[in-house]
Amino acid sequence: MVLGTSSHVGKSLLTAALCRIFAQEGYRVAPFKSQNMSLNSAVTPEGLEIGRAQALQAEAAGVSPSVHMNPILLKPCGDMTSQVVVRGKIWGKLTAADYHLRRVDELWPIIRESYETLASQNDIIILEGAGSPAEINLKQHDIVNMRMAELADAACLLVGDIDRGGVFASLLGTVELLDPHEQDRIRGFLINKFRGDIQLLAPGVRMIEHRLGKPCLGVVPHLHNLTLDEEDSLGLPAPDVRDDSQWTPINDLSRPLRIAVIALPSFSNFTDFDALRAEPSVSLHLCRTPESLANADIIIIPGSKQTANDLIWMRSVGLDIAVVHHAAQGLVIGICGGMQILGQDIVDPSGVEHTDAIAGLCLLSIHTTMQPQKITRLTSGRLLAPSLFRQPMTSSRVSGYEIHVGETRYVDGAQPFAELRTDTSQQSLLDGCVASNGQVFGSYLHGLFDDDGFRHAFLIAARAFYKLAPTSQCNNWKQDREDNLNRLSDAVRSSIDMPQLFSWIGLIYQHNANQEGCRS
């Protein structure tokens, strides 16, 4: 089990790395996180919702994602409430107090059953904790850290993030706040995200080993430009902070395409834009003010967990006016909740997210009605028009996954964006909408830009719309992900004491010399 001294110490990616390493060594391995809190989610082949981190870990292990890998998913609806997703389906909407004090124990048998299902099918389970196991105010009802470790009889590795500072204090404090039998379960610790001269770190490592009476399994370096899914918004760059050249008006036709993604307060599935961000011909930034949209070529309104509330927020800061003004001469895209915002109105008769009807930005000819039931499915299909932004498309294939509670109907004469089919049915579905001027479109498809063919064609069309020079280089996102997973696992493998790690679970480390064959 991978435990952390806090959130965002790297537990998710280290779990992914270990999944890949054990898979490379020939073992059947699966990830498991009993309870995950994240607005970043994925859909399994069966159409069930799980945390996106567990989907990435399954990918690293070379297996299909399963709802048993993350039986409980909490999706925050604000500071005090969360939507509770149990085995991929909505279970309820609860306050933090109601969930932790009264409802958690109802879910424990479900967690146990999911874990036992995975354990019966695999040689090794890599469990991931959440936050810190030493949250003493929540520990009595904890179902994701030490209680889970005891159920699985797991050897625990404690991870500290040195990049944030205070790593030795956080390691020591975490262990000392645990009960003696829980301290015994932690076999050793690991320092993550290190950069600098490791010789300067060595005295501190020796001292903390002595204080804890536990070995340091290794020091993993900070890996730059590792474009793998972040579990939560702590991994996102700060909105409105541009880390490259400013978006100043210039006549250079080879300049990057400028994409502004509005960082909504309930921004969900922000990994939708990782593939675009990685393109060398794109400059993508998160924006929260009208001023930061200046000189953008494309504005994207992303998915939202609280669509109506995020639309109200946009109006409160003037972003609604900025988007409508931009749509008159530029390009605007809405993904999932962002598409709903671009429509005529959002009606919520069941009070799923908001009690009142609210007018949209009226850039797309659609009406949305919120429903208690969530739609979750993998889909693929084709664009219904041969062009986008009034430019020819070199690829018409689209694919992705849907996670939404709204049902959208078209105004007479509206033009759908795509025709889709699910992975489990050949029934044809219409998705999205395109504005009559061809400059605005929306889609329910998360992961739309992950498909290399569509993304490349999209960038060609967008650059042609602005009369920019065609890009000379496009990324292969699927191969990039595979390369980065191997880069991550190679760094972890070379940085930590693998024989000792293997010994914790009763195995002998026999490094597979034919790793390339394993990876293929």
Q: Which residues are designated catalytic?
A: 336, 446
- How far lies 355's CA from each of 308, 310, 406, in Å? 9, 14, 14
CA distance 500 to 515: 20
Residue ranges with strand state E in 179-234? 186-194, 216-221
- 10 Å CB burial of residue 136 (0-12, 13-18, 19+) is exposed
Are the C-beta atoms of residues 332 and 439 closer than 8 Å to each other? yes
Amino acid making up residue 148: M
Residues facing residue 127 across a β-bridge: 32
CA distance 377 to 225: 30
Residues 6 or more apart whose Cβ sits within 8 Å of residue 121: 28, 30
The 8 Å CB, 24+ separation contacts for 235-241 are 235/8, 236/263, 236/270, 236/286, 237/285, 237/286, 238/286, 239/263, 239/285, 239/286, 239/287, 239/288, 239/292, 240/285, 240/286, 240/287, 240/288, 240/289, 240/292, 241/285
Sign of the C-alpha dihedral, residues 130, 133, 137, 138? Answer: positive
Strand 186-194, strand 216-221: pairing:
parallel
Where is 109: in which H helix or E strand?
helix 104-121
CA distance 225 to 484: 9
Over 32-88, what HEC string results?
ECCEEECCCEEECCCCCEEEHHHHHHHHHHCCCCCHHHCCEEEEECCCCEEEEEECC
Furthest-apart CA atoms within the chain: distance in Å: 73
Per DSSP, the three-state class of 156 is: strand
* Phi-psi sector, 246: left (phi>0), alpha (psi -120 to 50), beta: beta
Sign of the C-alpha dihedral, residues 321, 255, 435, 372? Answer: negative
Amino acid making up residue 123: D
CA distance 393 to 51: 33
Where is 367: in which H helix or E strand?
strand 366-383
Tokens representing 230? 């972040």
CA distance 207 to 199: 14
Are the C-beta atoms of residues 419 and 374 closer than 8 Å to each other? no
Tokens representing 48? 């069930």
